[in-house]
Structures are given as structure tokens and as C-alpha cells.
């Protein structure tokens, strides 16, 4: 080890940042430190399960608050950067909070906070003992790290962190169907992560850097002998698998219906969006010109994903499985931005990502309410919920309208922006795909709502009669509040975005222009422009 007396005189200023870092600068990394530390503490006290909820709740609230503060700062100042260990860029690992990552991180924290704040009864004692809350904290660490990091290999590390935590959350109940779902989910995601790692290694070999800003510069300056196009295709396949895009989407509907509703809600809200985020960041910001040739392919993938999701939703006879297909269809909408790479299309994609996080989490939580009362998610066996609880039924109807893209809810605006952008970019068929898939989803969700809520009882109940035998009442008022509360909070968010879209629209537009402006990003991180 180095000793103070015999160390040679080294000019540290050539390698390290020597200026002091204020608490303001720490704002970039605090959203990562909070869930990481909380997760470590929860693993340490894993047998004192009564402490888990308060610690996790406090950490999530702090995380959301810190994300909001960071978002405020990014909105006024542009990307905020911090170098780990004070090593100068591009050699140290950079954390670069740009508007896109910070917005998604903030919404993730909000969704996680709302979904777990009321101590869902579905997280029972056994699941707590197996470590629901520690896994949740580590999942949030991975998600936040992925959204905020400015280093490609570090992004891979956060992918691994969230992947391993999500394995843990998927098998919490140790039921046969859960293990079956986890194997499918795990295998495909491991393949995708390995592809991502391979692509990162090749990119490092080709460009000699892992810092995202540095990659953006060097990729644009690289000669034709550097196979950046092939690398972009590798990244695309890896992240498309993560995001569940057609034709590598089948792991999602096969696994998302197996865990408890809260876990499904978290996965639907957070995980696929990390894949979309990484896809947008690598293909648009980092490898922009080199990946342009993938635009047509991505446009086909986007359209096929939308339609496959919509058709899958129509064909499902299980409520939770249908929701899985709706997530897939939403991914198609988010890929339009990556395919067209125009300001409008990217704005629509980012807007859609935020909308999808809120609405899909809310719908999975709503499916948890339905399952808690009817003990099944089979559309054929459900029915009579409107007679049992009309207000809740209307909230779910609003959420289903939002997911189908009907005004005045949050799904309408991003789809309108996307259709507009598709026509403006000379791809009217992609705009038509958005509309057709929206129409098919309207049919699918309308059917589901009629079956679960509107008709009097399960299949076979005569018209005009009400058979409420299949709908149990809640065990207690507390259980009702704990189950329905999060759905209502998220539905309110969906309605507010639908009625007042200007704020989020401006943020999405800013995030999109950030993606299309590598010069601004690199100037912020490295102080130079390509």
C-alpha cells in the first residue's frame, strides 16, 4: 500500500478533479445511494421483518424527493454530471443525469412508492421473510442507476442488478407457475444481457472508451473500418429483447402474470422502460448516424410489436395475461421514436413511456384487486364487479380508456404526437399502425371491462340478472384501502396528465431534443463537442 513518506510527487490535477464537491453535486448520486444503503440494511436485518416496511417506505419517499429535486435542477441547468472517485472523464465512471433519464427515474420512484406505500396485503409474511423489500430496494437501485449512469459498462452493471433483483421478486411465492415464468423470463433476459455485454466489449475494442459522451464523439469521428453499424444492430437486438419488442417479446406475457400483483405492477411499470431507455440512448444519442440504417427495420419492428400486442390482448382470456400484451403493444409505440429519430417522434415515445409506466402499473394493481375478490383472473369466470363496486369499476374503465389512447386520458396525447410525427416523417403506414392497434386495443379492453365489470356474473349468467357469488367482499376496510388506494392515486395521475398535458409534453420535448443534441451532452460531460 502507498505510504505517505515514500510516495513520489504526482500531479493529481492531471488525473483527478480537485475542486470540492457540494451537496448540490451529490444530488446526481444520492438517488442511487439511498436505495442501495436501504437495501443493504434490509438484508442485514432480514429476520426483523416488521422493520422492512418502514425502512423501505422511508427510502422510497426519500428517493422520490431526491429525484424531484434532481429533475428540477436538470430542467433549469441541463445534464448534471458527477465523476465517481473524482477521476477525470472519460476515464472515471460518469453519472450523467439528463432530462430523459431523470424524468423516467422520477416516475419509477413515484410508481414504486405508490405501489408499495399502502403495504399491499398480497405481500404476505412469508414473502416478506423471503425478502420482498430488500429485493425491491435493490431493484430500485438498478433502475435508478441505469437511468442516471453515463457509462456504458456501468449501464450493464445496473442491468444485472435489476435483473437479479427481478428474478428474486418473480419467484417469491415459489409456486410452480412462477418458477415456469421465471425460467422463460430469466433465460431470455440473460441472453439479451450477454449480447449487451458482448456488444459493449466490441465497442470498447473499436473505440477505446466506455464513457457515453466520449462514445458519442468518437463514433461520429470513426472511419468506415470501425463496424459501428453491426454494433448498433447488436445493441438493438439486446435492448429490444429487454423491452419485449416483436419478435422477441414472448417472454413477457409468459411471465408477468405469475408473481403477485404488486410485483407485476412494478415490472410492467419499470423494467421494459429501462430497455426502451437504453435503446433510445445507444441508438440515437451514442451511435446516431451509424444506426440510421436500422430505421426501416425498427419501424417494422415497432409496427409489428404494436399489432402483435393488440392481437395478443384480443386473444387473451386471462386478465393479467391480457395486460402483459398491452405492455408489449405500448413498447411498439415507444419504438416509433427510435425508428423515425425526429424530434416529434421521440417526444411522443418519451411521453408514451411515462404514460405507460403509470397506466400499466395501475392496471396490474387493479387486476390484483379483482383477483383478491374473485380468486381468479379468468375472464370467463369473472363478472358482476360493477354491481359490487361501481366506483372502482369506473376508475378501471378510465385506466382502460387511457391504455387504448382515448381522450381525455394520458394515452391520447402521446399517440396523437406519434401519429402526427409518423405522417410528417413520411411513414404514414406507421401512423396507421398506431391507430389500428389503438382500435384493436379498444376492442380488447372493452371486452375485458364488459366481462369483468358490466355483466351480471360469470359466463352463463342470464342477461339482466346479477350473480354476485363470485365476488367476495373485502376482509376489512383497511384491506380495501390498501388494495384500491394505489390504483386510485395512479388513475388520478393518469387523468391529470390527460387533462393538463402541457407540462409533461414540454419535459418530453426537452428530453427528445437532448437525445438529438449530442454536442450539448458531450459539452456538458467532457467540455468538448464532436
Partner 1 sequence: MNTIIFRTISPLLVSLMLLFSVFITLRGHNEPGGGFIGGLIAASAWALYGLSHGVPTVRRALRFHPMEIAGFGLFLAAATGILSLLFARNFMTGLWAFPQILGVEVALSTPMFFDIGVYFVVMGSMASIALSLEEREGGV
Q: Is 134 in the site for partner 1 (CB under 8 A)?
A: yes
Question: How many helices (DSSP H) and strands (DSSP E) are in the chain?
Answer: 22, 2
What residues from 468 to 527 belong to the interface with partner 1 (CB under 8 A)?
Answer: none
What residues from 298 to 317 belong to the interface with partner 1 (CB under 8 A)?
Answer: none
Q: Is 1 in the site for partner 1 (CB under 8 A)?
A: yes
> Cα 437 to chain center, whole Å?
21
Vertex 405: Cα angle to 404 and 408 (nearest 5): 125
Residues in the chain: 530
Instruction: Return the range that interacts with partner 1 (CB under 8 A); candidates 30-38, 50-58, 414-422, 460-468.
Output: 30-38
Specify the residue, 10 or 469, whose C-beta has the smaller distance to partner 1: 10
Considering only 15, 24, 26, 194, the residue that binds partner 1 (CB under 8 A) is 26
Instruction: Return the range that interacts with partner 1 (CB under 8 A); candidates 16-24, 254-262, 303-311, 345-353.
Output: 16-24
| All residues at 6 or more sequence positions from 529 whose CB lies less than 8 Å from its CB, including other chains | 217, 519, 522, 523
Q: Is 85 in the site for partner 1 (CB under 8 A)?
A: yes
Query: Using the 8-state DSSP alphabet, how is residue 7 labeled?
Result: -
Instruction: Return the range that interacts with partner 1 (CB under 8 A); candidates 32-40, 286-294, 345-353, 467-475.
Output: 32-40
The grid cell for 387 is: 354491481
Q: Is 157 in the site for partner 1 (CB under 8 A)?
A: no
Find the shortest distance in angstroms from Cβ 142 to partner 1.
Answer: 13
Find the shortest distance in angstroms from Cβ 32 to partner 1.
Answer: 9
Closest-CA residue to 83 (of 154, 157, 156, 9): 154
DSSP string, 152-181: HHHHHHHHHHHHHHHHHHHTTT--HHHHHH
Instruction: Return the range that interacts with partner 1 (CB under 8 A); candidates 56-64, 82-90, 144-152, 214-222.
Output: 82-90
What is the SS3 string spanning 260-329? CHHHHHHHHHHHHHHHHHHHHHHHHHHCHHHHHHHHHHHHHHHHHHHHHHHHHHHHCCEHHHHHHHHHHH
Find the shortest distance in angstroms from Cβ 15 to partner 1.
Answer: 12
What residues from 35 to 74 belong to the interface with partner 1 (CB under 8 A)?
Answer: 36-37, 39-47
Number of residues that bind partner 1 (CB under 8 A): 33
**C-beta atoms surrounding 220 within 10 Å:** 17
Query: Using the 8-state DSSP alphabet, how is residue 211 labeled?
Result: B
On the 0-12 / 13-18 / 19+ scale of CB atoms within 10 A, 530 is middle
CA distances from 233 to 164, 296, 507, 511 (A): 25, 12, 29, 24
Find the shortest distance in angstroms from Cβ 36 to partner 1.
Answer: 5
Instruction: Return the range that interacts with partner 1 (CB under 8 A); candidates 20-28, 109-117, 155-163, 484-492.
Output: 20-28
Find the shortest distance in angstroms from Cβ 178 to partner 1.
Answer: 19
Q: Is 5 in the site for partner 1 (CB under 8 A)?
A: yes
Q: Are 87 and 16 in contact (CB under 8 A)?
A: yes
Q: Is 21 in the site for partner 1 (CB under 8 A)?
A: yes
Phi and psi torsions of 166, nearest 5° = -70, -30
Torsion over CA of 513, 522, 72 and 34, rounded to 10 degrees? 130
The grid cell for 420 is: 402526427
Find the shortest distance in angstroms from Cβ 62 to partner 1.
Answer: 14
Find the shortest distance in angstroms from Cβ 266 to partner 1.
Answer: 21
d(CA 502, CA 499): 9
Find the shortest distance in angstroms from Cβ 16 to partner 1.
Answer: 8
Specify the residue, 82 or 395, whose C-beta has the smaller distance to partner 1: 82
Find the shortest distance in angstroms from Cβ 167 to partner 1.
Answer: 14
Q: Are 331 and 305 in contact (CB under 8 A)?
A: yes
Q: Are 255 and 170 in contact (CB under 8 A)?
A: yes
Considering only 27, 62, 74, 83, the residue that binds partner 1 (CB under 8 A) is 83
Find the shortest distance in angstroms from Cβ 41 to partner 1.
Answer: 6
Specify the residue, 42 or 283, whose C-beta has the smaller distance to partner 1: 42
Find the shortest distance in angstroms from Cβ 87 to partner 1.
Answer: 9
Considering only 22, 76, 125, 477, the residue that binds partner 1 (CB under 8 A) is 22
Whether the upstream peptide bond of residue 246 has omega within 30° of 0, thus cis, is no
| Beta-ladder partners of 487 | none
Considering only 8, 14, 20, 463, the residue that binds partner 1 (CB under 8 A) is 20
Closest-CA residue to 389 (of 313, 488, 496): 488
On the 0-12 / 13-18 / 19+ scale of CB atoms within 10 A, 65 is middle
Specify the residue, 2 or 502, whose C-beta has the smaller distance to partner 1: 2
Specify the residue, 47 or 176, whose C-beta has the smaller distance to partner 1: 47
Find the shortest distance in angstroms from Cβ 520 to partner 1.
Answer: 22
Q: Which residues bind to partner 1, rule: CB under 8 A?
A: 1-5, 16-17, 20-23, 25-26, 29, 33, 36-37, 39-47, 82-86, 95, 134
Amino acid at each position: 500500500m502507498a505510504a505517505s513518506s515514500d510516495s513520489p510527487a504526482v500531479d493529481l490535477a492531471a488525473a483527478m478533479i480537485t475542486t470540492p464537491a457540494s451537496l448540490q453535486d451529490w444530488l446526481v448520486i444520492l438517488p442511487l445511494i439511498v436505495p442501495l444503503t436501504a437495501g443493504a440494511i434490509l438484508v442485514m436485518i432480514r429476520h426483523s421483518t416488521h422493520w422492512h416496511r418502514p425502512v423501505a417506505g422511508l427510502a422510497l419517499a426519500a428517493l422520490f424527493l431526491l429525484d424531484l429535486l434532481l429533475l428540477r435542477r436538470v430542467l433549469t441547468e441541463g445534464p448534471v454530471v458527477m465523476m465517481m472517485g473524482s477521476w477525470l472523464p472519460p476515464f472515471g465512471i460518469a453519472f450523467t443525469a439528463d432530462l430523459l433519464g431523470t424524468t423516467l427515474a422520477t416516475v419509477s420512484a413515484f410508481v414504486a412508492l405508490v405501489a408499495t406505500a399502502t403495504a399491499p396485503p398480497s405481500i404476505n409474511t412469508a414473502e416478506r421473510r423471503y425478502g420482498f423489500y430488500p429485493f425491491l430496494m435493490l431493484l430500485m437501485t438498478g433502475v435508478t442507476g441505469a437511468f442516471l449512469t453515463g457509462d456504458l459498462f456501468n449501464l450493464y452493471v445496473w442491468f444485472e442488478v435489476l435483473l437479479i433483483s427481478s428474478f428474486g421478486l418473480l419467484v417469491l411465492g415459489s409456486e410452480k407457475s412462477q418458477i415456469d415464468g421465471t425460467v422463460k423470463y430469466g433465460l431470455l433476459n440473460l441472453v439479451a444481457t450477454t449480447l449487451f455485454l458482448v456488444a459493449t466489449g466490441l465497442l470498447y475494442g473499436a473505440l477505446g472508451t466506455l464513457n457515453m459522451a466520449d462514445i458519442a464523439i468518437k463514433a461520429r469521428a470513426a472511419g468506415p473500418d470501425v463496424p459501428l453499424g453491426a454494433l448498433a444492430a447488436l445493441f438493438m437486438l439486446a435492448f429490444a429483447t429487454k423491452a419485449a419488442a416483436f419478435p422477441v417479446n414472448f417472454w413477457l406475457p409468459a411471465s408477468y402474470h405469475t408473481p403477485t400483483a404488486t410485483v407485476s405492477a412494478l415490472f410492467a411499470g419499470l423494467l421494459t422502460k429501462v430497455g426502451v431507455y437504453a435503446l433510445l440512448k445507444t441508438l440515437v444519442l451514442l451511435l446516431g448516424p451509424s444506426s440510421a440504417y436500422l430505421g426501416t427495420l425498427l419501424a417494422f419492428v415497432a409496427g409489428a410489436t404494436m399489432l402483435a400486442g393488440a392481437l395478443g390482448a384480443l386473444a387473451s382470456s386471462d386478465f393479467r395475461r391480457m395486460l402483459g400484451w398491452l405492455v408489449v403493444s405500448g413498447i411498439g409505440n415507444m419504438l416509433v421514436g427510435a425508428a423515425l429519430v425526429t424530434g416529434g417522434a421521440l417526444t411522443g415515445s418519451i411521453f408514451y413511456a411515462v404514460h405507460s409506466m403509470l397506466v400499466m402499473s395501475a392496471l396490474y394493481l387493479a387486476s390484483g384487486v379483482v383477483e383478491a375478490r374473485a380468486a381468479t383472473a379468468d375472464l370467463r369466470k369473472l363478472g358482476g364487479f360493477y354491481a359490487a363496486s361501481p366506483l372502482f369499476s369506473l376508475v378501471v374503465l378510465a385506466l382502460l380508456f387511457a391504455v387504448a389512447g382515448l381522450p381525455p386520458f394520458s394515452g391520447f396525447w402521446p399517440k396523437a404526437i406519434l401519429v402526427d410525427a409518423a405522417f410528417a416523417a413520411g411513414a404514414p403506414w406507421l401512423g396507421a399502425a398506431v391507430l389500428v392497434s389503438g382500435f384493436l386495443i379498444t376492442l380488447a379492453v372493452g371486452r375485458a371491462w364488459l366481462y369483468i365489470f358490466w355483466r351480471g356474473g360469470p359466463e352463463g349468467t342470464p342477461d339482466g340478472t346479477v350473480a354476485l357469488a363470485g365476488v367476495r367482499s373485502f376482509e376489512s376496510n383497511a384491506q380495501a384501502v390498501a388494495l384500491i388506494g394505489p390504483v386510485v392515486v395512479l388513475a388520478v395521475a393518469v387523468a391529470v396528465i390527460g387533462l393538463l398535458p402541457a407540462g409533461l409534453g414540454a419535459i418530453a420535448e426537452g428530453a427528445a431534443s437532448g437525445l438529438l443534441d449530442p454536442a450539448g451532452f458531450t459539452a456538458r460531460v467532457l467540455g468538448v463537442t464532436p
